[in-house]
């Protein structure tokens, strides 16, 4: 039986820069996706335990050449959490599946724009809509309509923080100066940083970790590597002190245990990015998904990784997706006979019910 952990990343006063393909330095995402978290984690694992240890670790994940391997662990992307009521209650935001919840009305013109903007849902709302009784056609419809018309709503959706997602953080642009090494000429540019709430209502990121029964002994090493990653920072602009965090490993609270052990779901929704070299037309039958391009620079060189397209969080499939590591080693890197560069497409998904 798998062992689940919930890991909270507390950034405190430290800002962070989470880049995405194509958005440039002036913008930043509000979270880290699963492939970027996996890459940063494995890189620091290699520094802490050595080349042989990380090679042994990577051999425990499926690839195009060895698709039959069961991964030693799976991680979700990171998502926002927010502590409210003086820290007595934590709001966990989950990615909204790309299928409508059960009982969702056919006539939604009066509130569809508001519904579509809800990319992340509070845990209690997500559970009710996608594992419980479903959408409340009277109460939920009325509350979404009120929010669409006047920007305010009073009801269970508002009570659980459905419309308060952006209160957990703010994004600012910070001016910076680049100095040419040869001419000493200066150039002004701006970098986007996300700052999570750290005063009254604290906020940060969290992710789910699923360890296979055979790999539970990995937990201590993974935790040590994550603590070192927190000291060095994750994301861009680490030389400026950005991206530093404290990791808190938690056993799954009861409500999370109900969610991961849900048995009545016909569909499976992604909590991570997902890539597989052997996807068939039959697998995509009745699926709802979005594609995310993933690329970027290799840390120890001036080369870019190969671009790979992955299914994004919230995508929904009839069968549980498995995923594998994608080889994104550039040709120039291969000529130098250096190590392989992988991007994690190992998926973590949860069962749900949805409108047919």
In a domain, 274, yes or no: no
Asked whether residue 219 is assigned to any structural domain, the reply reads yes
Q: How confident is the model at residue 1 (pLDDT cuts 50, 70, 90)?
A: confident
Rounded to an integer, the average pLDDT of 102-106 is 96
Please report whether residue 21 resides in a domain: yes
Residues counted in the chain? 356
Q: Residue 17: which domain range?
A: 3-260
- The whole-number pLDDT of residue 188 equals 86
Report whether pLDDT(299) > 90. Answer: no
pLDDT at 305: 77
Please state, rounded to an integer, the average pLDDT across all residues of the chain.
Answer: 91
pLDDT tens by residue, 203-241: 999 999 999 888 878 899 999 999 999 999 999 888 888
Q: Long-range contact list for 246-249, CB < 8 A, 24+ apart?
A: 246/9, 246/10, 246/12, 247/7, 247/8, 247/9, 247/10, 247/223, 248/7, 248/8, 248/9, 248/10, 249/5, 249/6, 249/7, 249/223
Residues 6+ apart with CB under 8 A from 301: 333
Lowest mean pLDDT segment, chosen from 118-122, 234-238, 253-257: 234-238
CA dihedral 110, 113, 116, 119 (to 10 degrees): -120
Q: How many domains does the chain have?
A: 1
Banded model confidence at residue 334, pLDDT cuts 50, 70, 90: low
- Give residue 355's pLDDT band: very low, low, confident or very high (50, 70, 90): very high
* Maximum mean pLDDT: which of 57-66, 316-325, 330-339: 316-325
At 23, the pLDDT band (50, 70, 90 cuts) reads low
Q: Which residue has the higher pLDDT, 150 or 157?
A: 157
Q: Is residue 128 one of the residues assigned to a domain?
A: yes
Q: What local confidence, expressed as pLDDT, does residue 336 receive? A: 58
Q: What's the whole-number mean pLDDT along residues 256-279?
A: 95
Distance between CA atoms of 85 and 232, rounded to whole angstroms?
A: 31
Give per-residue pLDDT as tens, 133-149.
999 999 999 999 999 99
Q: How confident is the model at residue 108 (pLDDT cuts 50, 70, 90)?
A: very high
Residue 289 belongs to some domain of the structure: no
Q: Supply the pLDDT for residue 181.
A: 82
Would you say residue 270 has pLDDT above 90?
Answer: yes
Range from 14-23, 143-152, 156-165 carrying the lowest mean pLDDT: 14-23
Residue 288: inside a domain: no
pTM above 0.85, yes or no: yes
What percent of the chain has pLDDT above 70? 95
Residues 229, 40: Cα–Cα separation, whole Å = 8
Highest average pLDDT, of 216-220, 297-301, 314-318, comes from: 314-318
> Does residue 238 lie in a domain region?
yes
Is 270 inside any structural domain? no
């Amino acid at each position: 039986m798998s062992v689940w952990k919930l890991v909270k990343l507390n950034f405190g006063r430290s800002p962070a820069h989470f880049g995405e393909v194509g958005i440039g330095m002036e913008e930043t995402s509000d979270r880290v996706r699963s492939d970027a978290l996996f890459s940063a984690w494995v890189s620091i694992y290699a520094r802490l335990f050595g080349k042989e240890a990380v090679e042994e670790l990577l051999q425990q994940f499926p690839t195009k050449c060895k698709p039959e391997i069961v991964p030693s662990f799976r991680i979700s992307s990171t998502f926002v959490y927010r502590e409210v009521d003086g820290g007595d209650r934590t709001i966990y935001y989950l990615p909204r599946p790309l299928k409508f919840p059960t009982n969702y009305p056919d006539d939604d013109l009066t509130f569809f724009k508001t519904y579509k903007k809800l990319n992340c849902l509070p845990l209690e709302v997500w559970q009710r809509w996608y594992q419980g009784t479903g959408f409340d056609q009277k109460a939920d419809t009325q509350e979404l309509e009120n929010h669409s018309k006047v920007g305010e709503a009073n009801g269970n959706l508002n009570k659980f923080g459905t419309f308060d997602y952006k209160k957990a953080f703010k994004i600012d642009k910070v001016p910076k100066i680049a100095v040419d090494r040869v001419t000493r000429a200066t150039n002004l540019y701006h970098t986007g940083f996300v700052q999570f709430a750290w005063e009254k209502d604290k906020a940060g990121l969290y992710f789910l970790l699923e360890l296979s029964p055979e790999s539970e002994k990995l937990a201590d090493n993974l935790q040590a590597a994550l603590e070192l990653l927190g000291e060095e920072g994750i994301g861009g602009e680490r030389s400026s002190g950005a991206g530093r965090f404290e990791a808190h490993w938690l056993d799954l609270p009861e409500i999370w245990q109900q969610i991961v052990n849900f048995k009545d779901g016909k569909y499976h929704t992604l909590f991570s990015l997902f890539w597989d070299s052997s996807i068939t037309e039959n697998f995509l039958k009745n699926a709802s998904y979005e594609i995310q391009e993933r690329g970027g620079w290799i840390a120890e060189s001036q080369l870019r990784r190969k671009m790979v397209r992955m299914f994004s969080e919230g995508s929904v499939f009839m069968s549980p997706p498995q995923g594998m590591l994608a080889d994104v080693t550039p040709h120039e890197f291969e000529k130098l006979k250096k190590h392989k560069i992988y991007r994690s497409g190992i998926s973590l998904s949860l069962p749900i019910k949805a409108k047919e």
